[in-house]
Amino acid sequence: MANARLTCRAPSEKKRRAHQASSDVPVELERKTQMKVLIAFYSRSGHTEQLAREMASLYGADIDRIQDIGPPRTGLLGYMRCSWQAMRGSVATIRPTLHDPSAYELVIIGTPVWNWSLASPVRAYVQLHSGHFRRVAFFCTEGGSGDQRVFAQLESLCNQAPLEKFAVNARDLATGAHKAALQRFIDRINSASLRAA
């Protein structure tokens, strides 16, 4: 398992001094934000996966793809099954994931929006591990609406308020217009974890 940290690894003494001289945040305090982070996501058509991988690469976080067992979710029938399950609040059957979320200080959970709801494989993951998340943050990708309802569902299932939430429109993801907002999401998590330290 990779040693996932929210910010960069411990800097050399030279870099540490240079940084301390140029930053308002004392290095000792900043170290407390070096959380062990897991990004867990489900993606049917690749958008949420793209965002999860960009986030993981910016953080140096571990990543876990949630995979369900059952007929493929492709084509019209697959779409309708996703939609129906989301509408009913069904829990998909999922494969065991690689990482134990309770070993992480922060788990960032990502889902596509299906019918103004979270995806059924993500519902399964969260229900399975609820009570074992130390802290959580949420992100979703969508066609245009439903994110607030999805975040409320995730918060209720996790039984805790997230450090931060981040919704991205699939169009912005395609053009790269989300990148500045992604960086702000990361910065807000860093600030929130610093406050909580």
Ligand X SMILES: Cc1cc2nc3c(=O)[nH]c(=O)nc-3n(C[C@H](O)[C@H](O)[C@H](O)COP(=O)(O)O)c2cc1C
The residues that touch ligand X, with contacts defined as CB under 6 A, are 43-49, 79, 82-83, 112-116, 141-146, 170
Cβ closest to ligand X, residue 5 vs residue 73: 73
Rg over alpha carbons for the chain, rounded to the nearest Å, is 17
Cβ closest to ligand X, residue 49 vs residue 62: 49
Smallest gap, in angstroms, from Cβ of residue 68 to ligand X?
Answer: 12
Smallest gap, in angstroms, from Cβ of residue 30 to ligand X?
Answer: 33
Cβ closest to ligand X, residue 146 vs residue 162: 146
Smallest gap, in angstroms, from Cβ of residue 42 to ligand X?
Answer: 7
Smallest gap, in angstroms, from Cβ of residue 181 to ligand X?
Answer: 15
Smallest gap, in angstroms, from Cβ of residue 34 to ligand X?
Answer: 29
Cβ closest to ligand X, residue 18 vs residue 174: 174
Neighbours of 103 (CB within 10 A): 14
Cβ closest to ligand X, residue 131 vs residue 143: 143
